[in-house]
Structure 1
Amino acid sequence: MKYIKLVTLIAFVAFAYSCKTENSNKDLAYAVESQKDASGFSYETVANDPTGLRLYTLDNGLKVYLSKNSDEPKIQTYIAVRAGSNYDPKESTGLAHYLEHMVFKGTSKVGTIDWEKEKEYLDQISDLYEEHRAEADPAKKLEIYKKIDEVSLEASNYSVANEYDKMTSSLGATGTNAHTWFEETIYKNKIPANELDKWLALESERFGELVLRLFHTELEAVFEEFNRGQDSDGRKRYAAMLKGLFPNHPYGQQSTIGVAEHLKNPSLVDINNYFNKYYVPNNMAMVLVGDLDFDTTIKKVNDTFGKLEKKEVVHPTLPKEEPITSPVVNEVFGPTAESVSIAFRSKGVNTEEEKLMTVADMILANGNAGLIDLNLNQKQAVQYAGCSPTFLNDYGYHSFSGSPKEGQSLDEVKDLLLEQIEKLKKGEFEDWMIDAVVNDLKLNQTQQYENSTALASMYYNAFIHHEDWTNKVKFLDDLKKVTKQEVMDFANRFYKDNYVVTYKRQGEDASIVKVANPGITPVNVNRDKSSQYMKDFNKLESEPLQPKFVDYKKAIKEAKMDNGIKVSYIDNELNDLFDMNIIFDMGSDNDKKLGLAAGYMEYLGTDKYSAEELKKEFYKLGVKYYVSAGAETTYVGLNGLKENLPKGLELLEHLWNNAVPDQEAYDKYVESITKGRVDGKSQKGNILWNGLMNYGKYGETSRLRNIFQTKELNAMNPEELVDIVKGMKNFEQRVFYYGKDIDAAVAALNTNHKVAEDLKSYPEAMAYLEKETGGNVYFVDFDMVQSEMLFLAKGDPFKAENMAASTLFNTYFGSGLSSIVFQEIRESKSLAYSAFSSYSTASKKEDNNYVMAYMGTQANKMPQAVEAMMELMTNMPEAEEQFKAAKEAALKKLAAQRITKSSVFWNYERLKKLGIDNDNREEMYAKIKDMTMDDLRDFFNANISGENYNVMVIGNKEDIDFEALKKLGKVQEMDIDYLFNYDQPEEVKM
């Protein structure tokens, strides 16, 4: 949780911060340099920019951000459009988001078999939607919709579903997706570097023209996405917060997904107008970060996207907000655990306020030693608390959130959060904190620069927010100049009674919109056909990319401590960060109390430092530590700045050796565990993917259910838990180090990590047996709009020789926008927003593989959805061209994959558990290369077809068709407490 907060801050906010002053562009250390490349293209760079950005502007206004990263032969691509839900017409909210979906549907060349014939039907559909929108009589609207359904079926005879995704998949692309937010729509692909030419050709075609094909089935998918939002209490709380902060501005008045009434009455004319207005090159940016050559890349971009026509773009003037002068109070309701948020409205990006709020936020909560971290989370004064800033073009906001302990009111949590702000105002934080915050940001920034996706995200954010890259490069230097007094002055004038408080309470949500099943006729996906564009596209050849495999035994080097403990290590050749793990090959399976003991260490001090003082000492060093006990392995980890490794390890060992039991901290720890269990029972994802899935796999005897009851926790002696952690040093262990100067690292271990002379063997681990599946439907009643289903079948024991076939099968059949499952369930039949299937490989050689399928759908579509999914899992549709594309995609992904840095060690750890001691990707690559559709059919018939499924279902009991479920097996309604073994009620049977 701590790491996510900091990474998110850097990737999406902090590094985008800037402070424009009169002299900002006169800072010679960060001077902008205009240059020309060998082809004559002009670009800008910033002196001392560690990212090496070249920023080009084509003649048509397209911004092109290029940066080189040769870690792997891939390029992270983003195509960013300054167009989001802020600019939706008031009568067509959700338009920008729906348009995002439609941009994947192709053009007059992509996705069509006969454009002239298809266009006739598409024009009819557009006209019918205009009639439908204008018609007030419900019965007549229904008749028009039936006509739309009929014409759409005819139009589908001339279309090819998911052709865009088939082509990107054939490149070996990963992460093909898009998102829409207030001011942006971002299109994403990560491609092999050798496929840049084909990708540019395809994308320039896609963004040159919009065709709204397969419209009504995609609209139904968006409705399913709308329903998922209604089932998310977090989204509802967020929306209510925004509504309070922005009573006039679209930030609070127009959600990205849109309102149900507008989704029911779309206008294809409005969507086309929006595309024509905003999807123009001078309102767009292309971001490419990866293994590229600057000069040749920009020429290729210009040859394709440079042909797009520049148009004048005028964004609408949006309403201004009046100051908030007194607290605004909102409430939302839903089944999940209660929480509260407080939000203060700020100015937007490129303002002085942005910089000061960033520092204030990190002083309040940095995941380690902030005021909220120490005073609320460390002291367990609440269940959880945190804060985070957001900056947009027109405004921003600083939001605080908290969850109550058992018996604690939301107002008490709110008051505790406000108390921390008061401490900030009074300067009740230590003078070194600002320097530590800047160092923390620098450390995380360094980690982000290694990641092409994170860096590319920074670039597109800069474009969307009209930010000068110079100010972004000098951001940390600007932060160093902030004084404690400036932070206090800012806090006193900014944090007043000008906030919006939103209470998320448990209860029925009266605002839920139930959506009828429109009864869409399945359209034709024509998976065995291709447009002429795709045929020509597939003939284009790229320079082959050869896979590279790892010799793990050479790549992972070894050293030894003086006491004989093995130290595996890999050199960090990029920067001065380190990561050290002391590994014990035992976990809670060996000692049930070990996980409990590891978690308790978070709240303990020593004979020298209090728990809060320890957090501060680590934070000063720029070093983080953790003690983590899994089922089979326990890690004591340390990471941060290499120069501080010795001091950090000394501090960690001091805690390890001298932790002092604290009964009060333990009692609060137990209270937190108990409340966490209560809260977890209100999370549908936890119920489905943990409770139901584990029960479907193991039955009553599982790790999930093998827990201490609260009364057992209360009776436990905390001193025993501390002794367990201290006693870990007496067991066999090994070390993995990723960083520079292995000799210095081993020397630090020799000095600080003292262990018993004769190390003990591990206690015998408890075994959990996977039960046979089939004939069972486990159902949990939950207040939700959608229903979610998980099909699970126990397969054969793990066989390494099946990994190639399963990889190809998953690509062809179950995962991705062009997979068989997605096409049938969503594209053709509009039965779900999310649907996938997989053949899952075991994590250990002695375990079994599993066949799994998932759907999230409206409850009133469940019978059709179940029938469709079970038909697919019994009889695999065969399409030779789609198989070839899937095979090519699997091969190209393997060819472009590089296992580097610390991943070399962790991948080898994973393979050894499967009984594999080499890079098995080489064998997989060779096998996939020779596979045919016959091979895939044989794999399906042997491993998928005819499997016996346990079916896990969560949904609203009042909406579920139980007769449909009974066809799948014996339906048993499960008590949530029983699933998790929180108590022992009798199982309720139907």
Structure 2
Amino acid sequence: MKLIKSVLLFCIITCLSNCKKSTSETNVSQEIKVEKHTDASGFKYETVTNDPTGLRLYTLENGLKVYLAKNEEEPKIQTYIAVRAGSNYDPKEATGLAHYLEHMVFKGTDEIGTQDFEKENVLLKQISDLYEQHKGESDPDKKKEIYKKIDEVSQEASKISISNEYDKMISSLGAEGTNAHTWFEETVYKNKIPTNELDKWLKVESERFSQLVLRLFHTELEAVYEEFNRGQDNDGRKAYAAMLEGLFPNHPYGQQKTIGTSEHLKNPSMVAIHNYFDKYYVPNNIAMVLVGDLDFDETIQKVNNTFGQFEKKEVVHPTLPKENPITSPIVKEVFGPTAESVSLAFRTDAIGTKEEKMLTLADMLLANGNAGLIDLNLNQKQAVQSAGCSPTFLNDYGYHQFYGSPKANQTLDEVKDLLLSQIDKLKKGEFEDWMMSAVINDLKLNQTRQYENNTALASAYYNAFIHHQDWKDKVAYLDELKKISKQELVDFANSFYKDNYVVVYKRKGEDKNISKVENPGITPVELNRDKESKFVQDFKKIEAPALKPKFIDYKSAIKETKTDSGLQVSYIDNPNNDLFDLNIIFDMGQDHDRKASLAAGYLDYLGTDKYTPEELKKEFYKLGINYSVNTGSDKTYVGISGLKENLDAGLALLEHLWSNAVPNQETYAKYVDQIAKGRQNSKLQKGNILWSGLMNYGMYGDNSPLRNIYTIGELQDINPKELVDKIKQLRDFKQRIFYYGKNVDAAVASINKNHKIKGELLDYPEKTKYIEKETGGNVYFVDYDMVQSEMIFLAKGAEFDPNKMAASRLFNTYFGSGLSSIVFQEIRESKSLAYSAFSAYSTAQEKGDSNYIYAYIGTQANKMPQAVDAMMDLMTNMPEAEEQFNAAKEATLKKIAAQRITKSNIFWTYEGLKKRGIENDNRKEMYETIKNMTLSDLKSFFDQNIKGETYNVLVIGNKKEVDIKALSKLGEVKEMDIDYLFNYEKKNEDIKL
């Protein structure tokens, strides 16, 4: 399905989902109204009739909004604390403030994160005063002197502070997804907690939001600057910022980046941050969202006893500038090392307007991932490399964005004109009448799928709050869309889409607007991980109700039956709705046959003797059925999914395509050209170079699976009929089926009718085995135009052993992942050497393969030598912190206890276990093992499996900035050719970008 990028549209799509009712059972066409209730304790709340989500919306006396919804599928609660405070409200002279404040809210209060706040506060006041001097000083040398003093006083203050106490407490609950984000109109704090830990979570959060203390300020500021640098290395973000600047020449949407400007980040004001917190972080400007396994009456009482005690204050958001109409195209250019692309954007009215409804429909008619105008006329016909569109709606305005990537030797203007031509088709009404209802059904189908996830539902609630939306209007939304006629939409398109757009050309080339910053020379601050505040000591004494883990007997949870032809059918009933997922599984893939994935990709562009490719896409879309043919390294899946009532028709259509696909030489030639351009584009992505190209080379050397590909010349020589025959012959090989849905008997009957098997099935071809190389003594470097440098330390470990999985999981929690991990604390919190740093002991996915140890750092090139030394010291000498170990152990056990493997995940999890030679739910053994582990045991695991390992070092960065001499101390430095890493042909560089 189409990936909806807009947060708001995501909520529109999903706000009516129902985990307990099927699409056909949900009737939102009845009258929708708000009903008011009072619970047994006297708390008033609102519900909406025919609301499939079951929302209870409370408003406490202090104005705090509380969104509660119940889903008992797993003993967890998705929590959001949403504040109507984003970058739109940053002072013009202090952009980035709201985002930086978000970081600082994790640093504690006068009770959390300190040994003696009275003494610490004296020093924090000095630091604040010094920052005000620093901000007002224009002489660069004097600014440096002031900064040295800030660093000096910060050292003294850090001796009193205690790093990461908030995260230690939250982690000890077994929380997942601890994070936050800031955007134009919002700052949102996130956690997913076990149900039994709600009381402790509320205690921590109510304390956290009661007061702001800006401790460990200058080290966190440096981390934010590293985040700023990562943005400078992201061409997509730069193009997005240029688009917003063009759309909004006056409004903060286009004039104030959430991350802020380089100059403002260098000159912060702690006073301004405090003022912002005091103004906006008040209960009547905040919503709490809790979705999951909860009791309504008990939960609202607990929220009122904590957050309900905060004092209400008047909140006035600033009046923001209005924009004049755009009367002619506005052109922007952005340069960077990645592949070229073009985007167009039309400014829209705000959320909640009639224009939002019109554009939601227009967007889906243009691109829905299947049968939209852009899907069929551009992507399906391979007229461009790729194209799509998506809308975003905000409080004051919105935008409808179109994007496209060129084929080889295609200009960006040609892509732009093709995008505009599809808009013209919409304006002329050149789409079939049935599409109007089909896209609304598609939205309903998506909402049902997506709201089986509590996080998606909770996201819809907080978005409604941020955007001042009544939930009643969200529930009625799709019914409102049904009222729009085709003619009404066409008339709207003609009035809306004119020359009133911004076009952004992302071109390949040097970005001359990069802001670079010197390493400020921060002295590492004290972490005091062996200390605890009184708040934490008291917090640890609070007992939560026990939550016992539940483990699965896979062999009884996954039922078995057979088709008439003897195919094994594994199945699991869908208890929630009438959606199904049917997969025919072949235990062979790319490693068995290099042409397998090539053939699977080609099939997507083919028609049959009955349907053109475009007609086929429409037929599937009419049914609300998605089909797929996917090939991995060792598996191939042929499947369909959608509404159960259309399973038989969908399977018949898939089998028709499978049996009757017609090869087309012209289509194949375009397909090969697309592969060639895709390769050219992929090798320009730094993440792909590091995590795919260099990682595979570091593991396998010259004979990696990544390099085992056909050259473009070889692809051109292949007869497309051979690929079609290969897909058709696939059904002659051994296969099995997995079905998730209701009424397995009807599903099997459909398989018997449509999926015919002839004779004895064939064995699979022999699988190619790739030999893992020993690691150590090598530095593989790729030169890339970027501000930061990124590196991975990679060591081959022992062969996979299921007995190590418990210790490795605990080790990763304690040492390498999360805000309170040893690596994060040492590299980022103490030394400010990187925005992102983590490490892991990674267990193999298949029996007989090796485990790997890796560590990652993303930092400024001028900090790399110090960052390398710090990371290698940690990977050699694991710090032993008893309290931190106990917290990591408690967190790991609680996560296992709260985990529930449900629905189709039962089957897919078991598939993964069997690849490792495991036939049972090994979480039980892991749980018991971890429960009995000591810090000494973990130290032994480290000494036996990590300490002393030799690493291949994988580095990507700007050769002009990276200290190659320092890298040579880690091993022999070999500058890698990107084409060689991926086994691409040099002649591909001639493709015009």
Give TM-score scaled by structure 2 length.
Answer: 0.98
Shift in Å, 1:983: 2.7
Going from structure 1 to structure 2, the CA distance change for 1:93 and 1:7 (only over 3 Å counts) comes to: closer
Q: How does 1:43-192 map to 2 (within 5 A)?
A: 43-192=45-194
Instruction: Give 1:30's match in structure 2, choosing from 15, 29, 32.
Output: 32
Residue 908 of structure 1 is matched in structure 2 by: 910
In the TM superposition, what whole-angstrom CA distance separates every residue of 1:814-869 from its partner, at most 9, and x where no partner exists? 00000000000000000000000000010001101000100100000000000000
Shift in Å, 1:116: 1.1
Q: Which whole-Å CA distance do the structure 1 matches of 2:2 and 2:677 have between them?
A: 23
Residue 711 of structure 1 is matched in structure 2 by: 713
Aligned Cα RMSD in Å? Answer: 1.1
Residue 289 of structure 1 is matched in structure 2 by: 291
In the TM superposition, what whole-angstrom CA distance separates every residue of 1:402-441 from its partner, at most 9, and x where no partner exists? 0000000000000000000000000000000011001100
Going from structure 1 to structure 2, the CA distance change for 1:184 and 1:72 (only over 3 Å counts) comes to: same
Given that 2:30 and 2:50 are in contact with CA atoms closer than 8 Å, whether structure 1 keeps it comes out as: no
Given that 1:369 and 1:619 are in contact with CA atoms closer than 8 Å, whether structure 2 keeps it comes out as: yes
In the TM superposition, what whole-angstrom CA distance separates every residue of 1:36-81 from its partner, at most 9, and x where no partner exists? 1111100000001000000000000000000001110000000000
Paired amino acid for 2:596 = L
Q: Which whole-Å CA distance do the structure 2 matches of 1:802 and 1:976 have between them?
A: 36
Shift in Å, 1:146: 0.1
Given that 1:13 and 1:391 are in contact with CA atoms closer than 8 Å, whether structure 2 keeps it comes out as: no
Paired amino acid for 2:367 = A
Q: Which whole-Å CA distance do the structure 2 matches of 1:166 and 1:4 have between them?
A: 35
Is 1:458 aligned with 2:455? no
Given that 1:16 and 1:461 are in contact with CA atoms closer than 8 Å, whether structure 2 keeps it comes out as: no
Shift in Å, 1:479: 1.1
Q: How does 1:399-548 map to 2 (within 5 A)?
A: 399-548=401-550
Q: Which whole-Å CA distance do the structure 2 matches of 1:319 and 1:734 have between them?
A: 61
Residue 608 of structure 1 is matched in structure 2 by: 610
Instruction: Give 1:723's match in structure 2, choosing from 713, 718, 725.
Output: 725
- 3-state SS, counterpart of residue 420 of structure 2: helix
In the TM superposition, what whole-angstrom CA distance separates every residue of 1:637-676 from its partner, at most 9, and x where no partner exists? 1000000000000000000000000111100000000000
Residue 5 of structure 1 is matched in structure 2 by: 4
Is 1:632 aligned with 2:631? no
Residue 704 of structure 2 is matched in structure 1 by: 702
Residue 23 of structure 1 is matched in structure 2 by: none
Shift in Å, 1:7: 9.8
Q: Which whole-Å CA distance do the structure 2 matches of 1:28 and 1:738 have between them?
A: 31
Q: How does 1:374-385 map to 2 (within 5 A)?
A: 374-385=376-387
Q: Which whole-Å CA distance do the structure 2 matches of 1:5 and 1:687 have between them?
A: 26
Q: Which whole-Å CA distance do the structure 1 matches of 2:897 and 2:888 have between them?
A: 14
In the TM superposition, what whole-angstrom CA distance separates every residue of 1:330-352 from its partner, at most 9, and x where no partner exists? 00100000000000000011100
Instruction: Give 2:936's match in structure 1, choosing from 921, 925, 934.
Output: 934
- 3-state SS, counterpart of residue 79 of structure 1: strand
Residues matched between the structures, number: 976
Q: How does 1:265-276 map to 2 (within 5 A)?
A: 265-276=267-278
Given that 1:15 and 1:475 are in contact with CA atoms closer than 8 Å, whether structure 2 keeps it comes out as: no
Residue 20 of structure 1 is matched in structure 2 by: none
Residue 257 of structure 2 is matched in structure 1 by: 255
Is 1:850 aligned with 2:852? yes
Given that 1:6 and 1:444 are in contact with CA atoms closer than 8 Å, whether structure 2 keeps it comes out as: no
Going from structure 1 to structure 2, the CA distance change for 1:278 and 1:310 (only over 3 Å counts) comes to: same
Given that 2:29 and 2:479 are in contact with CA atoms closer than 8 Å, whether structure 1 keeps it comes out as: no
Residue 208 of structure 1 is matched in structure 2 by: 210
Q: How does 1:544-583 map to 2 (within 5 A)?
A: 544-583=546-585
Shift in Å, 1:28: 6.4
- 3-state SS, counterpart of residue 701 of structure 1: coil
Is 1:388 aligned with 2:387? no
Q: How does 1:226-375 map to 2 (within 5 A)?
A: 226-375=228-377
Residue 884 of structure 1 is matched in structure 2 by: 886
- 3-state SS, counterpart of residue 30 of structure 1: coil
Given that 2:586 and 2:736 are in contact with CA atoms closer than 8 Å, whether structure 1 keeps it comes out as: yes
Given that 1:159 and 1:526 are in contact with CA atoms closer than 8 Å, whether structure 2 keeps it comes out as: yes
Given that 2:15 and 2:447 are in contact with CA atoms closer than 8 Å, whether structure 1 keeps it comes out as: no
- 3-state SS, counterpart of residue 583 of structure 2: strand
Shift in Å, 1:515: 1.1
Residue 988 of structure 1 is matched in structure 2 by: none
Is 1:958 aligned with 2:957? no
Given that 1:11 and 1:448 are in contact with CA atoms closer than 8 Å, whether structure 2 keeps it comes out as: no
Shift in Å, 1:11: 2.7
Is 1:665 aligned with 2:662? no
Given that 1:589 and 1:632 are in contact with CA atoms closer than 8 Å, whether structure 2 keeps it comes out as: yes
Q: Which whole-Å CA distance do the structure 1 matches of 2:866 and 2:360 have between them?
A: 50
Q: Which whole-Å CA distance do the structure 1 matches of 2:5 and 2:318 have between them?
A: 34
Given that 1:93 and 1:254 are in contact with CA atoms closer than 8 Å, whether structure 2 keeps it comes out as: yes
Paired amino acid for 2:715 = L
Paired amino acid for 1:191 = I
Q: Which whole-Å CA distance do the structure 1 matches of 2:842 and 2:484 have between them?
A: 52
Given that 2:6 and 2:392 are in contact with CA atoms closer than 8 Å, whether structure 1 keeps it comes out as: no
Residue 976 of structure 2 is matched in structure 1 by: 974
Given that 2:14 and 2:457 are in contact with CA atoms closer than 8 Å, whether structure 1 keeps it comes out as: no
Q: Which whole-Å CA distance do the structure 2 matches of 1:14 and 1:744 have between them?
A: 30
Given that 1:241 and 1:501 are in contact with CA atoms closer than 8 Å, whether structure 2 keeps it comes out as: yes
Q: Which whole-Å CA distance do the structure 2 matches of 1:796 and 1:313 have between them?
A: 59
Q: Which whole-Å CA distance do the structure 2 matches of 1:9 and 1:135 have between them?
A: 43
Given that 1:364 and 1:373 are in contact with CA atoms closer than 8 Å, whether structure 2 keeps it comes out as: yes
Could you list the structure 1 runs, at least 4 aligned residues long, displaced by more than 2 angstroms after superposition. Answer: 2-17
Q: Which whole-Å CA distance do the structure 1 matches of 2:943 and 2:360 have between them?
A: 57
Q: Which whole-Å CA distance do the structure 2 matches of 1:637 and 1:113 have between them?
A: 59
Shift in Å, 1:482: 1.2
Shift in Å, 1:16: 6.6
Instruction: Give 1:220's match in structure 2, choosing from 217, 222, 228.
Output: 222
Q: Which whole-Å CA distance do the structure 2 matches of 1:845 and 1:119 have between them?
A: 55
In the TM superposition, what whole-angstrom CA distance separates every residue of 1:473-508 from its partner, at most 9, and x where no partner exists? 111111111110011011000000000000000010
- 3-state SS, counterpart of residue 4 of structure 1: coil
Going from structure 1 to structure 2, the CA distance change for 1:495 and 1:984 (only over 3 Å counts) comes to: closer
Shift in Å, 1:13: 4.5
Given that 1:377 and 1:385 are in contact with CA atoms closer than 8 Å, whether structure 2 keeps it comes out as: yes
Q: Which whole-Å CA distance do the structure 2 matches of 1:964 and 1:47 have between them?
A: 66
- 3-state SS, counterpart of residue 787 of structure 1: strand
Going from structure 1 to structure 2, the CA distance change for 1:9 and 1:260 (only over 3 Å counts) comes to: closer
Give TM-score scaled by structure 1 length.
Answer: 0.98
- 3-state SS, counterpart of residue 3 of structure 2: helix
- 3-state SS, counterpart of residue 272 of structure 2: helix
Q: Which whole-Å CA distance do the structure 1 matches of 2:6 and 2:941 have between them?
A: 41
Going from structure 1 to structure 2, the CA distance change for 1:785 and 1:937 (only over 3 Å counts) comes to: same
In the TM superposition, what whole-angstrom CA distance separates every residue of 1:789-809 from its partner, at most 9, and x where no partner exists? 001000000111110000000
- 3-state SS, counterpart of residue 86 of structure 1: helix
Residue 21 of structure 2 is matched in structure 1 by: none
In the TM superposition, what whole-angstrom CA distance separates every residue of 1:522-561 from its partner, at most 9, and x where no partner exists? 0001111111101110111100100000000000001100
Q: Which whole-Å CA distance do the structure 2 matches of 1:175 and 1:691 have between them?
A: 29
Residue 22 of structure 1 is matched in structure 2 by: none
Paired amino acid for 2:102 = E
The alignment-based identity, stated in percent, is: 73
Given that 1:792 and 1:852 are in contact with CA atoms closer than 8 Å, whether structure 2 keeps it comes out as: yes
Instruction: Give 1:861's match in structure 2, choosing from 860, 863, 873.
Output: 863
In structure 2, runs of 5+ residues without a counterpart are 17-27, 988-993
Is 1:812 aligned with 2:814? yes
Range 642-651 or range 7-16, more displaced: 7-16
Given that 1:10 and 1:445 are in contact with CA atoms closer than 8 Å, whether structure 2 keeps it comes out as: no
Given that 1:705 and 1:981 are in contact with CA atoms closer than 8 Å, whether structure 2 keeps it comes out as: yes
In the TM superposition, what whole-angstrom CA distance separates every residue of 1:563-602 from its partner, at most 9, and x where no partner exists? 0000000000100000000000000111110010000000
Paired amino acid for 2:138 = A
Given that 2:12 and 2:477 are in contact with CA atoms closer than 8 Å, whether structure 1 keeps it comes out as: no
